[in-house]
Amino acid sequence: MVALNQAPCALMASLATPLLLATNSARQSCIVRKRRLPLGDTASGGKSAQFTLASGQNVTHMDAGAYQSASVGDFVWNDANRDGLQSTGEAGISGATATLFTSGNVQVGAPQTTGVNGAYAFSALTPGTYYVQFTLPAGYTLTPKLIGTDTCRDSDADPADSGKTSSFTLTAGQSLSTVDAGGYQGATVGDFVGWIATP
Ligand SMILES: [Ca+2]
Ligand SMILES: [Ca+2]
């Protein structure tokens, strides 16, 4: 608790009760000692630290800052014709994983596993710089990255860098939906070679 002075009342200020401060201040009279208070804490649900309000005190510095979160996602698909682009009729890959990292290589949340539609998404992100690492199910190989100029259709996963994308920066409120990974299944070629001659 942070005591401003010998006060007649104490209250917990929160984002939900801004009018409570004004009400208590208006109906009391006393001295004011200026002091900066610790403000809202996201870990405590937006509540400030508890403080004591003196009679007549007018507190005008109880502020709350906020930012819009960001999101990233899109598609892991079967690049059946191996052209590195999302072509008509190419379906999603289920069972692929997308893992989000900060630019400092710190994993963010749990990996996302794609369903039959191949979609994945990370939401409620703090604006900043990230990259995604894709892992395809057994039997799939990553298709070449960054083919052409259409970021909605190309693959961003680098086959030469363990399926990682390049870093990208998410701004407040941004929803980035062009971070994709294409994969294809290798064909099997082979047959019986050799025989045993019988006399
Ligand atoms: Ca394709
Ligand atoms: Ca893309």
Residues 13, 62 contacting (CB under 8 angstroms): yes
CA gap 166, 155 in Å, rounded: 11
Ligand nearest to the CA of 168: 2
* Pairing of the two strands 175-176 and 70-78: parallel
Rounded to 5°, angle at Cα 23 from 17 and 24: 100
- Which tokens belong to 137? 């199910």
Distance from the alpha carbon of residue 33 to the mean position of ligand 2, in angstroms: 57
Distance from the alpha carbon of residue 77 to the mean position of ligand 2, in angstroms: 11
Ligand nearest to the CA of 88: 1
**70-185, CATH topology level:** Immunoglobulin-like (2.60.40)
**pTM over cut 0.85:** no
Burial 111-144 (b: 16+ CB within 10 A, else e): bbebeeebbbebeebeeeebbbbbbbeeebebbb
Averaged pLDDT score across all residues of the chain: 81
Judged against a pLDDT cut of 90, whether residue 192 lies above it is answered with no
Task: Give the confidence band of 49 by pLDDT, cuts at 50, 70, 90.
Answer: confident
Distance from the alpha carbon of residue 153 to the mean position of ligand 1, in angstroms: 9
Distance from the alpha carbon of residue 87 to the mean position of ligand 2, in angstroms: 13
Residue 41 confidence (pLDDT): 65
CA gap 55, 162 in Å, rounded: 64
User: What is the residue extent of each domain of the chain?
Assistant: 2-53, 70-185
- Which tokens belong to 89? 């009729």
Judged against a pLDDT cut of 90, whether residue 42 lies above it is answered with no
- In the block, which residue shows the tokens 């294409």? 182
**Residue among 177, 136, 182 nearest 155 (CA):** 182
**Residue among 149, 131, 159 nearest 85 (CA):** 149
Ligand nearest to the CA of 85: 1
Ligand nearest to the CA of 180: 2
- Which tokens belong to 91? 């379906």
Q: pLDDT higher for 52 or 168?
A: 168
DSSP string computed for 86-116? --TTPPB-TT-EEEEEETTS-EEEEEEE--T
**Mean pLDDT on 99-107:** 98
Distance from the alpha carbon of residue 70 to the mean position of ligand 1, in angstroms: 29
Distance from the alpha carbon of residue 98 to the mean position of ligand 1, in angstroms: 20
**Mean pLDDT on 2-26:** 35
Ligand nearest to the CA of 90: 1
Q: pLDDT higher for 162 or 31?
A: 162
Task: Give the confidence band of 24 by pLDDT, cuts at 50, 70, 90.
Answer: very low
